[in-house]
Amino acid sequence: MAVSDGTERIRDPWGERTPYGPGERWPIRVDENCPAGVDAWFRSASVLHSNGDAMDIGVRDGRIVGVRGVATDRVNRGRLGPKDLYGWRSVHSPDRLTRPLVREGDRLVETDWDTAMGRIVERSKQLLARPGGWGRFGFYTSGQLFLEEYYTLAVIGKAGLGTPHMDGNTRLCTATAAAALKASFGTDGQPGSYTDVDHCDAIALWGHNVAETQTVLWARMLDRRRGGARPAMLAVDPRTTPVAREADVHLAPRPGTNLALVNGILRLIIHNGQSDPAYVRAHTIGFEELCRVVDSYTPARVAEICDLRAADLERAAELVGGAYRLLSTVLQGFYQSNQATAAACAVNNLHLIRGMLGRPGAGLYQMNGQPTAQNTRETGADGDLPGLRNWANATHIRQLAELWNVDGTTIPHWAPPTHAMQIFRYAEQGSIRLLWISATNPAVSLPELARIRRTLSSADLMVVVQDLYRTETTELADVVLPAAGWGEKLGTFTNADRTVHLSEKAVEPPGEARADLDIFLDYAARMDFRDRDGRPLIGWRDAEGAFEAWKRCSAGRPCDYTGITYEKLRAGTGIQWPCTADRPHGTERLYTEGIFHTDPDYCETYGQDLSTGAEHTAQEYRAKEPRGRAFLHAAHYRPAPEVPDEEYPFMLTTGRTVYHFHTRTKTARAPELNAAAPDVWVELHADDAARLGIGDGDRVRVTSPRGEMFAPARIADVRPGTVFVPFHYGCFDAPGRVAANELTVTAWDPVSKQPLFKVAAVRIGKG
Ligand SMILES: Nc1nc2c(c(=O)[nH]1)N[C@H]1C(S)=C(S)[C@@H](COP(=O)(O)OP(=O)(O)OC[C@H]3O[C@@H](n4cnc5c(=O)[nH]c(N)nc54)[C@H](O)[C@@H]3O)O[C@H]1N2
Ligand SMILES: Nc1nc2c(c(=O)[nH]1)N[C@H]1C(S)=C(S)[C@@H](COP(=O)(O)OP(=O)(O)OC[C@H]3O[C@@H](n4cnc5c(=O)[nH]c(N)nc54)[C@H](O)[C@@H]3O)O[C@H]1N2
Ligand SMILES: [Mo]
């Protein structure tokens, strides 16, 4: 279905319904936005969310002129969302970076690649010449590069430099997904498949505004809701999002109280006799402790903590407790909120005690957000070890040392890898002296921006930024490297249901911009990293070579790619890992036999205390004798580190709108998307607005202990006492504009180390 005029999918982000019933195949609907004629199509997938919608890029005269969905692909069956239909226009924006820049005093000046790389290499060698020099390097990467790029970066960091200070912005995004999957099931990896939407009889969305953030997945859910035997729906969100409007039951808890809420639901399910004792006995550990912990979360107590009606909690428990095929998705309303990992694990508990895993319709998503976040985690570019290996397992370290032919002591594994918030702390304190930032814009997306700007501006710190455009972050850099982006380079990436897609190079990058892979390979060559036998550490020269090297690294691990080739990925649909010689078409669902990845020799972690984050030892873990059973982790609710008080009486929560992606470097350069949401706003409840004398559209001031911002008010269906601000709006297109993260707090979940973007105390008033 071609988008007929320029704004159709802006007005209706989900498009026409194609209803279907349980167990039927989701009908095909091909979305296209291709205003000009096309010479050639190139296969790819969306990079503006984690859904992995397959699409073709239309090219004419060497330029991208449109996109269309891929009808044969398992993920989207032809559909595309607004950001994908319009976002490609940003590729040929006239203000792309085309040459490297270096800092001369207070200015960034254009230069050539030799000069820019020369500066980085000179600093690197100086740092390495000193004892412990590896500790001076920090890498902060993304959930938006390709698998091949992350793997190359991971090898440079872990086997070339030997630094533990490497993380992705995935720490802000899906660190909790990874932590919760590891904690409950032994390793990362989503148990379910998107086809669970086709089979389920209930859908629970835990802090996930899927309608705005994965529009095609939402279209699939809506199509089931408009077909026969529609699945029931639960939404848990303090705002009345489109998801909440559609849902049969909407719980709008006080932000930061998710754990109490899910504990309350678990208690009701157990009391109502809706757990599956046979499954619990055969496949889990920890049920008695779980019962003990949740027992005090009576409906009345939960209603008090979360500020809900007890009857609504009971309806929610009936909905998820009575389902035969329950599909859950969890996202930022849990991950960026108080007690993130414990709350996400509580949803895992719900699926485990009800035996809702490993069969069609009984699916669980600890969702991803960014398009390639799964790959950051798999390849170890976020500090995890490549192949979902366990840093505390000596055998896993030995495997990597053999694979890379390096001394095992080079590979950092003596302590947990350094998480992003700590990397910035080291940079602030001056122990990190070279911080290399790729494909992320921390000067808008990290909490407490005044502190981030101060850190990045420090004279002792060399900041390298690799991006497509000038951003709030490049302006603080010492070296800026112009990168080739989506459509301009070849590589693979993996969506939230483990589906791997290939993204072809459709056009040449502008000017001297280079693929991130080539930049990392160039650095490795200039640094002359060698293996134990004096051969170059990195033996590949292109994307396919990197992919083949990665396949060897993934062999035998949960994310086994050994059965995938670029050629297979060109055949019409993505492929779900694990994909091996025995399973050449990939694997639709994990844990179909109820056997989990918790064996001590195989698991990715020996576990952590959910309340404090304290690491358990191998010995402690072995003593639990998991034998393939999953862990039921129970924890008590505790209030968020920052809660409203007299001075700051409101709770600020932040998030997204359907039209923009993150800090808008791409979507603000796509005219249709930019016009749909050109500037920031503040959502507040009508009662709060009336009390403060604020009318719709009035300018308001929002103040936290860390900063203040001004924006027009939008009277909205957010719960009383809570205000919501989209975090998309920095100052690159409007000097003086202040981003939401000026206000947010530097605090993180003790287990996943994910920052708490959803809970800060503020005061508001007319501005
Ligand atoms: N349009 C669009 N789509 C995107 C992106 C984008 O920027 N724009 N980004 C992609 C990425 S990287 C990600 S991570 C995902 C994020 O996707 P989502 O998680 O769906 O998006 P958010 O808006 O961050 O948060 C979801 C909801 O959490 C609610 N919330 C806030 N505090 C709480 C709380 O304490 N408890 C509960 N239960 N809910 C709370 C908010 O009201 C919000 O509606 O989206 C992906 N897709
Ligand atoms: N308050 C608040 N803050 C948040 C959140 C929230 O909900 N509330 N959400 C958090 C989450 S979930 C996320 S994922 C982060 C996102 O935060 P960021 O990662 O900072 O956001 P982006 O705007 O996506 O930045 C990506 C950058 O990479 C560039 N880029 C894109 N493709 C390529 C490429 O191929 N190569 C190179 N070299 N560069 C490329 C883009 O131009 C852009 O500048 O924000 C987090 N911050
Ligand atoms: Mo994210």
Q: Does the CB atom of residue 148 touch ligand 2 within 6 A?
A: no
Domains of the chain in sequence order: 2-92 (no CATH), 101-173+372-576 (3.40.50.740), 175-367+599-607+616-631 (3.40.228.10), 650-766 (2.40.40.20)
Q: Residue 338 CA: which ligand 1 atom is closest? A: 35
What integer pLDDT is reported at residue 3 of this predicted model? Answer: 54
Residue whose CA is closest, atom 1 of ligand 1? 658
Residue whose CA is closest, atom 11 of ligand 2? 173
Q: Does the CB atom of residue 336 touch ligand 2 within 6 A?
A: yes
Vertex 79: Cα angle to 73 and 83 (nearest 5): 120
What integer pLDDT is reported at residue 2 of this predicted model? Answer: 57
Q: Does the CB atom of residue 744 touch ligand 2 within 6 A?
A: yes
What integer pLDDT is reported at residue 101 of this predicted model? Answer: 98
Q: Does the CB atom of residue 727 touch ligand 2 within 6 A?
A: yes
What integer pLDDT is reported at residue 19 of this predicted model? Answer: 98
Identify whether the C-beta of residue 34 lies closer than 8 Å to the C-beta of residue 2. Answer: yes
Residue whose CA is closest, atom 31 of ligand 2? 439
- DSSP β-ladder status, 166-168 and 137-141: parallel
Question: For residues 493 and 370, what is the distance between their CA atoms, to the nearest angstrom?
Answer: 11
Q: Residue 373 CA: which ligand 2 atom is closest? A: 14
What integer pLDDT is reported at residue 15 of this predicted model? Answer: 96
Mutate to test the pocket of ligand 1, among 85, 86, 209, 660 (most ligand atoms within 8 A of CB): 209
Q: Which residues pair with 754 in a beta bridge?
A: none
Pocket lined around ligand 1, Cβ cut-off 6 Å? 49, 83, 173, 207-210, 212-213, 236-239, 241, 253, 255-256, 258, 331-334, 337, 369-370, 653, 655-656, 658, 660-662, 724, 758
Q: Does the CB atom of residue 168 touch ligand 2 within 6 A?
A: no
Residue 679, phi then psi, degrees to nearest 5: -150, 165
For residues 660-677, b (16+ Cβ closer than 10 Å) or e, as one string? Answer: bbbbbbbbbbbebbbebb
What integer pLDDT is reported at residue 160 of this predicted model? Answer: 98
CA of residue 144 to ligand 3 center, whole Å: 10
Identify whether the C-beta of residue 217 lies closer than 8 Å to the C-beta of residue 384. Answer: no
Q: Which residues pair with 103 in a beta bridge?
A: 108
What integer pLDDT is reported at residue 615 of this predicted model? Answer: 94
Tokens of 457: 């501006």
What integer pLDDT is reported at residue 383 of this predicted model? Answer: 81
CA of residue 336 to ligand 1 center, whole Å: 9
CA of residue 245 to ligand 3 center, whole Å: 23
- Radius of gyration of the chain measured on its C-alpha atoms: 24
Residue whose CA is closest, atom 6 of ligand 2? 655
Ligand lying nearest the CA atom of residue 212: 1
Q: Which residues of the chain have pLDDT under 50?
A: none
Question: For residues 74 and 6, what is the distance between their CA atoms, to the nearest angstrom?
Answer: 28
CA of residue 755 to ligand 2 center, whole Å: 14
Q: Residue 665 CA: which ligand 2 atom is closest? A: 42
Question: For residues 350 and 338, what is the distance between their CA atoms, to the nearest angstrom?
Answer: 19
Question: For residues 596 and 345, what is the distance between their CA atoms, to the nearest angstrom?
Answer: 15
Q: Residue 241 CA: which ligand 1 atom is closest? A: 44
Residue whose CA is closest, atom 28 of ligand 1? 333
Q: Residue 726 CA: which ligand 1 atom is closest? A: 23
Residue whose CA is closest, atom 29 of ligand 2? 439
CA of residue 314 to ligand 2 center, whole Å: 38
What integer pLDDT is reported at residue 767 of this predicted model? Answer: 85
CA of residue 326 to ligand 2 center, whole Å: 32
Model confidence pTM above 0.85: yes
Q: Which residues pair with 728 in a beta bridge?
A: none
CA of residue 236 to ligand 2 center, whole Å: 25
Q: What is the 3-state secondary structure (H, E, C) of 113-131?
A: HHHHHHHHHHHHHHHHHCC
pLDDT tens, 251-273?
999 999 999 999 999 999 999 99
Q: How many CA atoms lie within 13 A of 374 on its CB side?
A: 29
Question: For residues 574 and 732, what is the distance between their CA atoms, to the nearest angstrom?
Answer: 36
Q: Which residues pair with 63 in a beta bridge?
A: 60
What integer pLDDT is reported at residue 8 of this predicted model? Answer: 87
CA of residue 214 to ligand 2 center, whole Å: 16
